[in-house]
Structure 1
Amino acid sequence: MRFNSAAATVEQFKPIPFVPRYQVSDKANVRNARTVRILKSRAIPAGHRQVLLYRDDAAPTYQYVHRLAALVHIGPPPR
């Protein structure tokens, strides 16, 4: 039996709770839910990736991609 590598690489996108116009995948890609385009990210000197997210009620903010992916796919961090 052959392994289907295409099926193993499918990303699952889920909405980000505090900015529902964006979605984050289990492979840490962030996309616009309406246009389905992947957002460009920037690297900070520590090596982490950030994306600029726009909210309706606030100024745009940079968010860490790894924290967004963990929040959506694992759950909120413990207090």
Structure 2
Amino acid sequence: MANLNISMPPALAQWVDTRLAQGRYADAADYVRDLIRRDQEAADDDTHWVRGKILEGFASGVIDAEPEDVLREIMARLPDA
């Protein structure tokens, strides 16, 4: 296992101490590992969401209109400000 040394301002160190005092984590390294795992899961969720949107876009098909015409059509539907 690789070692990682980090520096943090006192307020963050105090936050880590508070989390450790709550008893969920054995030590600061355990807390940091958990944060990194949760960040990885969130990144995986984000990637899954983006891929889903890309597939949704592909499935919606391609239109023949020029982008400017599409924008004009959308803007024409908007209520006057």
Q: Same fold (TM over 0.5)?
A: no
Higher relative contact order structure (alpha carbons within 8 Å, sequence separation ≥ 6): 1
Higher helix share goes to which structure? 2
Higher strand share goes to which structure? 1
What TM-score, normalized by structure 2, do the two folds share? 0.20
